[in-house]
């Protein structure tokens, strides 16, 4: 049979359903099947019509997510049988989302796909936390890095480049390595008093924020028991949150070290 469907690699944004793109919503509503993982928030899942099949690859058997090669194979198989397969991913599919691995697999299998960008956690969580990623005179660039490394693997990042006081550093998946990352930034020359922020469940009513600096943030994240998904933002613009706060979640904020002396 020649009939073959298409896989849409769709970014669902960080959690607030209002941050879905119009295209993402339209595709979800017209899908034959939606394949999603654990970052997709409940209010977004509620927007999938009840007749559409859903496959959760974030928590397959037990608590483990489905291995990536199985997800790749699943998407290809579904596209051979269905018209429209929506692969729903948190944030943006091409930013730490493995969307590119899935796209490469589909291309090699000769299966059509489209990529629908989503609002990545760095853009959304910073905005909802009242932190601009750039600010004239304060930060002239942004770097997005992963803090996820296998247990005993050394954290292999370019510390000199990352320890840039004129740029904002955003760390995805950085909960377990936060203490080591902050220490390495300080050894690479970044001022230990550089403002830093951790945001849990950014953009959702449950959003929680903890402010500190390179020395205090790891301890505060621990004592406040912040949990994944956690985004870390480091840089002078974090200090603007005191003035730029607008989003009122139900989760608590630790303002202890909110330093308002930006640019001082």
Residues of the shown chain interacting with ligand SAH in the complex, contacts defined by CB under 6 A:
14-15, 39, 89-92, 95-97, 120-121, 125, 172-173, 199-203, 228-231
Nearest CB to ligand SAH, comparing residues 71 and 82: 71
Separation CA 229–CA 53 (nearest Å): 26
In the complex with ligand SAH, the residue whose CB is nearer, 10 or 214, is: 10
Helix ranges restricted to H, 5-98: 22-29, 42-45, 68-81
Report the residue number whose CB is nearest to ligand SAH: 91
Question: Residues 199, 233: contact at Cβ < 8 Å?
Answer: yes
Q: Which is nearer to ligand SAH, 90 or 195 (CB)?
A: 90
Residues annotated as part of the active site = 37, 59
Question: Kindly report the CA angle at 146 between 142 and 149, in degrees rounded to 5?
Answer: 155
The answer to whether the beta carbons of residues 30 and 84 sit under 8 Å apart is yes
DSSP code for 240: G
Q: Which ranges of 55-149 would DSSP assign to H, the alpha helix?
A: 68-81, 99-108, 121-128
Q: How many residues would you count in the chain?
A: 264
Strands 112-116 vs 142-146: parallel, antiparallel or unpaired = unpaired
Task: Decide whether 96 or 113 has the Cβ nearer to ligand SAH.
Answer: 96
């Amino acid at each position: 049979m020649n009939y073959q469907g298409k896989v849409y690699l769709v970014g669902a944004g960080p959690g607030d359903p209002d941050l879905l793109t119009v295209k993402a919503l339209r595709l979800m509503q017209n899908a034959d099947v939606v394949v999603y993982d654990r970052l997709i928030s409940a209010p977004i899942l509620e927007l999938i019509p009840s007749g559409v099949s859903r496959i959760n690859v974030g928590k397959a058997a037990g608590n483990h997510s489905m291995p990536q090669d199985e997800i790749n194979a699943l998407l290809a198989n579904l596209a051979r049988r269905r018209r429209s397969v929506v692969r729903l991913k948190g944030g943006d599919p091409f930013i730490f989302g493995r969307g590119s691995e899935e796209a490469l697999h589909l291309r090699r299998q000769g299966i059509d796909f489209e990529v629908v960008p989503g609002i990545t956690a760095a853009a959304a969580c910073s905005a909802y936390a009242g932190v601009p990623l750039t600010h004239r005179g304060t930060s002239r660039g942004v770097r997005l890095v992963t803090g996820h490394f296998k247990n005993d693997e050394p954290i292999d990042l370019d510390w000199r480049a990352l320890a840039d006081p004129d740029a904002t550093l955003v760390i995805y998946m950085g909960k377990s390595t936060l203490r080591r990352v902050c220490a390495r930034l300080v050894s690479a020359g970044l001022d230990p008093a550089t403002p830093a922020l951790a945001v849990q469940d950014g953009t959702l009513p449950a959003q929680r924020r903890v402010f500190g600096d390179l020395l205090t943030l790891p301890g505060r994240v621990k004592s406040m028991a912040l949990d994944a998904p956690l985004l870390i933002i480091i840089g002078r613009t974090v200090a603007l949150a005191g003035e730029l706060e607008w989003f009122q979640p139900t989760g608590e904020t630790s303002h202890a070290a909110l330093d308002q002396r930006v640019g001082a």
